[in-house]
């Protein structure tokens, strides 16, 4: 691994942090997702403390009440009052801090002489920096035993850390306050950042000088010094901008080279054939296609007819009829003698897809069986749990080309599957794959299959451009006619227990009308870490109580695959009235007879997740009811999220709300938000300008250096590719 890096700078950056800071501190860093020297350098102070700045304690108090405050905080404040309590030898020192906007209580425990010593230090005139874990005492936040220093006219005095802090302060006029953890107080992080800077000092910047000039950013080492040990706010900001630009440049330059590569890729051109499978399918379709379905289909047909591989993202609401559109493209390929693959993110979904594709095709998907129409092809399903014997048979039919349509989980990509002639790969609900991975399946030399990625998670344009700069985007915004209304209500389960009772009654009424309901919980079992109701408890409680006498089933990810499939089948067939489930039913499940959904502890879910969940109902002609049960109080951000979901069914509106609330590119999935560092600072909404600038510079880089000879640029590209690979491994 070490020798993939061409420049001394990247070699130094990619070294494990433990080499600098030792195993113990290294472990503590790892808990924050920080593994390499690069990660340490990119872990930036959240606040800069200068001579004029104070921490806003009233804000801290607000955040605490909303449940959004950090666990570990560093505050700048004065001592307002102080008193000793308790009986010797164990005493308690209770301190109240203030910064003029609010107050915070601090407690120290210890023997008399120790407590006296703390009290003396805390009596010094001047403000202090207090850093520690925020805990809860009688419903108020407090700091127990924080590390602290007091800023006096003679310098910083205080507990053991004071010397270290003093050094930091004398070196620059600002102290950075970092997001910290129990084992990593802010001053330790600051010291490690300095070690990391020394580690890369004097190494040449990997970003070409002309790029830095045109982008007007400082060099890398200067940027690191500027963010961690700044002498002014402007300097800090300039350093930050370079580190942000670094990320934009890395992704854009990687994409620019991919685009160049893609220009060399060839694909088989599939033109529409009349009188084939597609025409037969269209003839049997029980409904007319919507205008948008027709328009998007035409885009796909045009793409497929080219010798350049299609790279298209199809986004559309749940139930907007994407699958039908994708299937028409797949049939075009089969008509031309090729094969098409449909990849689903989970086993349950792959099975559902197989069932609905088979249902839509009827005997057109029955293969070369007696009495089947001559155009018929074979639809096969291949997942991780396909038994070995059956698997061999399926693989044979794929290799011989008998199977025109292959449906499976992403696990398909991991194994070697031989195709006779793979023409099209459709990837459902999984937009995180790098192009390399999407292309891996069925590629032979320069010859690649066409690729269509489908998603019901609406992706704001800015995000699409940053991350999918190499994909064309098609969008379906209208739902097929005759789709029923779904009304959504937020139910405060603490203030209105009677409404919760009423909800279960309503479920029973729906069942009496022959309709079905979902009950969704955030958790599987009682012992799981996550908060909120568990599916097992809820199932037991409802079937013994409010829903006794109804046919209730349970579905979650830990059930064996065949049991999951069986429960889903029974629910789809109307053999169950109620399905108590986790988010396993999130995407793609299609039961038009389901009219009601009750989401327990709805605050545990994100906006897009709730939107996806709600998409499971109102898919038929009967109006739907969605109840979001919550104990989140009005005015909290969790409650705001639920109200937003209740106010609209427009996924694009909700995705903007979601993004604005998080201010993060987290829509891309969790690996971008946490863990990996490469896209840690870049926020697609805030940095649209720098992203556009990076994109145009990346084009110039490729023009000047089409063979990717520049070792620095090469390192940037490698870094992004490793990130994509990390996501890839996480997703499969
Ligand atoms: P998506 O994949 O976008 O969630 P599907 O393709 O699964 O949506 O379609 C959802 C449901 O709507 C399916 O039962 C499908 O047969 C049906 N459907 C699709 N297109 C139409 C249409 N034009 N008119 C009526 N029903 C449609
Ligand atoms: Mg679908």
Q: For 482-531, how does the pLDDT look when each residue is reduced to its tens digit (9 = 90+)?
A: 567 889 999 998 888 899 999 999 999 999 999 999 999 988 876 665 66
* Domain 486-651 in the same topology as domain 277-476: yes
Inter-residue contact 20 to 199 (CB < 8 Å):
yes
Pocket of ligand 1 (CB under 6 A): 287, 289-290, 293, 316, 318-324, 456, 480, 590
Phi, psi of 515 (to 5 degrees): -105, 170
**Token representation of residue 9:** 């700078």
CA 252 to chain centre: 20
Q: Report how far residue 353's alpha carbon sits from residue 618's, in angstroms, rounded to the nearest whole number.
A: 19
- Cα(326) to centroid(ligand 2), Å: 10
Q: What is the pLDDT of residues 241-267, one digit of tens each?
A: 999 999 889 988 988 888 888 778 899
DSSP β-bridge partners for residue 132: 73
- Cα(406) to centroid(ligand 2), Å: 16
**Residues in CB range of 692: below 8 A, 6 or more apart:** none
Among protein residues, the one whose CA lies closest to atom 4 of ligand 1: 319
Ligand nearest to the CA of 345: 2
- Cα(553) to centroid(ligand 1), Å: 26
Among protein residues, the one whose CA lies closest to atom 10 of ligand 1: 319
> Which of 286, 296, 327, 480 for mutating ligand 1's site (highest number of atoms within 8 Å of CB)?
480
Please tell me the CATH superfamily of domain 47-177, with its number: Nucleic acid-binding proteins (2.40.50.140)
**Closest approach atom of ligand 1 to CA 615:** 4
**Closest approach atom of ligand 1 to CA 326:** 6
- Cα(322) to centroid(ligand 2), Å: 6
Among protein residues, the one whose CA lies closest to atom 26 of ligand 1: 480
Tell which CATH architecture fits domain 486-651.
3-Layer(aba) Sandwich (3.40)
Q: Report how far residue 598's alpha carbon sits from residue 629's, in angstroms, rounded to the nearest whole number.
A: 7
Query: Does the structure show a pLDDT above 70 at 33?
Result: yes
Domain boundaries, the chain: 47-177, 277-476, 486-651
Phi, psi of 91 (to 5 degrees): -120, 170
**Closest approach atom of ligand 1 to CA 320:** 3
The closest of 647, 513, 480, 699 to 593, measured between CA atoms, is 513
- Cα(318) to centroid(ligand 2), Å: 6
Ligand nearest to the CA of 286: 1
Instruction: Look up the CATH number of domain 277-476.
Output: 3.40.50.300
Inter-residue contact 448 to 308 (CB < 8 Å):
no
pLDDT average, residue stretch 355-375: 82
**What DSSP designation does 16 have?**
B
Enumerate long-range contacts of 211-214, CB under 8 Å, 24 or more apart. 211/249, 211/697, 211/701, 214/697
Share of the chain above pLDDT 70, in %: 83
**What DSSP designation does 399 have?**
H
- CA dihedral over 555, 556, 562, 563, signed as positive or negative: negative
Q: What is the pLDDT of residues 671-694, one digit of tens each?
A: 333 333 344 566 655 677 888 899
Give the predicted TM-score (pTM) of the model. Answer: 0.62
**Residues in CB range of 609: below 8 A, 6 or more apart:** 583, 586
Q: What is the pLDDT of residues 185-241, one digit of tens each?
A: 787 898 899 999 999 999 999 999 999 999 999 999 999 999 998 888 899 999 999
Ligand nearest to the CA of 327: 1
Task: Band the pLDDT of 724: cuts 50, 70, 90.
Answer: low
- Cα(319) to centroid(ligand 1), Å: 5
How many Cβ atoms sit within 10 Å of the Cβ of residue 497? 11
- Cα(323) to centroid(ligand 2), Å: 5
- Nearest-10 crossing angle of helices 688-704, 233-264: 50
Share of the chain above pLDDT 90, in %: 44
**Closest approach atom of ligand 1 to CA 290:** 23
pLDDT average, residue stretch 534-538: 92
Inter-residue contact 402 to 430 (CB < 8 Å):
no
């Amino acid at each position: 691994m070490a020798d993939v890096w061409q420049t001394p700078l990247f070699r130094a950056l990619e070294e494990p942090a433990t080499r600098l800071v030792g195993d113990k501190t290294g472990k503590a860093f790892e808990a924050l997702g920080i593994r390499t020297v690069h990660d340490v350098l990119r872990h930036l102070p959240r606040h800069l403390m200068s001579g004029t700045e104070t921490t806003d304690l009233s804000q801290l108090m607000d955040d605490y009440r909303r449940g959004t405050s950090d666990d570990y905080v560093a505050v700048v404040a004065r001592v307002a009052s102080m008193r000793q309590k308790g009986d010797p030898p164990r005493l308690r020192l209770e301190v109240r801090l203030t910064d003029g906007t609010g107050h915070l209580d601090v407690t120290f425990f210890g023997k008399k002489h120790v407590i006296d010593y703390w009290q003396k230090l805390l009596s010094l005139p001047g403000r202090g920096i207090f850093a520690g874990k925020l805990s809860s005492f009688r419903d108020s936040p407090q700091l127990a035993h924080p590390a602290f220093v007091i800023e006096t006219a003679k310098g910083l005095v205080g507990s053991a850390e004071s010397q270290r802090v003093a050094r930091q302060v004398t070196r620059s006029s600002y102290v950075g306050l970092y997001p910290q953890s129990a084992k990593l107080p802010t001053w330790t992080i600051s010291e490690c950042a300095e070690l990391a800077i020394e580690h890369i000092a004097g190494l040449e910047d990997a970003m070409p000088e002309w790029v830095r000039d045109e982008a007007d950013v400082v060099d890398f080492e200067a940027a690191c010094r500027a963010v961690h040990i700044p002498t002014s706010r402007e300097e800090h900001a300039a350093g930050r901008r370079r580190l942000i630009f670094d990320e934009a440049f890395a992704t854009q330059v990687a994409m620019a080279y991919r685009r160049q590569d893609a220009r060399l890729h060839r694909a088989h051109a599939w033109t529409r054939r009349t009188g084939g499978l597609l025409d037969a399918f269209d003839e049997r379709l029980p409904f007319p296609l919507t205008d948008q379905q027709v328009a998007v289909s035409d885009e796909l047909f045009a793409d497929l007819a080219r010798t350049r591989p299609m790279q298209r993202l199809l986004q559309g609401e749940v139930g907007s009829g994407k699958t039908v559109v994708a299937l028409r493209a797949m049939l075009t390929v089969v008509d031309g003698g090729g094969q098409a693959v449909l990849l689903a993110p989970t086993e349950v979904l792959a099975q559902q897809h197989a069932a609905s594709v088979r249902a839509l095709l009827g005997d057109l998907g029955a293969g070369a069986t007696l009495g089947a129409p001559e155009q018929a092809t074979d639809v096969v399903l291949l997942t991780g749990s396909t038994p070995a014997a059956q698997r061999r048979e399926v693989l044979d039919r794929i290799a011989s080309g008998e199977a025109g349509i292959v449906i499976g989980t992403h696990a398909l990509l991991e194994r070697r599957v031989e195709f006779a002639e793979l023409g099209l790969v459709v990837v459902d609900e999984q937009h995180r794959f790098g192009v390399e991975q999407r292309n891996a399946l069925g590629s032979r030399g320069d010859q690649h299959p066409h690729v269509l990625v489908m998603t019901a998670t609406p992706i704001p344009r800015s995000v699409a451009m940053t991350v999918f700069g190499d994909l064309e985007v098609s969008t379906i915004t209208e739902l097929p006619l005759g789709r029923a209304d779904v009304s959504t209500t937020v139910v405060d389960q603490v203030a209105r227990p009677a409404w919760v009772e009423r909800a279960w009654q309503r479920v029973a009424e729906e069942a009496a009308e022959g309709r079905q309901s979902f009950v969704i919980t955030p958790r599987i079992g009682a012992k799981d870490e996550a908060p909120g109701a568990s599916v097992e408890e809820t199932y037991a409680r409802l079937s013994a109580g409010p829903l006794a006498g109804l046919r209730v089933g349970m579905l979650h990810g830990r059930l064996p695959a065949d049991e999951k499939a069986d429960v889903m089948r029974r629910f789809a067939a109307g053999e169950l009235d109620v399905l108590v489930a986790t988010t396993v039913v999130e995407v793609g499940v299609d039961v038009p007879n389901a009219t009601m959904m009750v989401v327990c502890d709805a605050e545990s879910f994100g906006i897009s997740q709730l939107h996806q969940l709600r998409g499971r109902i109102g898919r038929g002609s009967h109006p739907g009811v969605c109840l979001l049960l919550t104990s989140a109080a009005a005015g909290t951000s969790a409650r705001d999220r639920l109200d937003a979901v209740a106010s609209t069914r427009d996924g694009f509106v909700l995705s903007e709300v979601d993004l604005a609330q998080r201010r993060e590119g987290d829509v891309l999935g969790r690996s971008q938000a946490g863990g990996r560092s490469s896209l840690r600072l870049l926020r697609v909404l805030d940095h649209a300008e720098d992203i556009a600038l990076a994109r145009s510079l990346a084009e110039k880089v490729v023009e000047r250096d089409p063979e990717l000879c520049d070792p620095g640029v090469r390192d940037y590209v490698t870094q992004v590719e490793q990130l994509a690979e990390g996501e890839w491994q996480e997703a499969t």
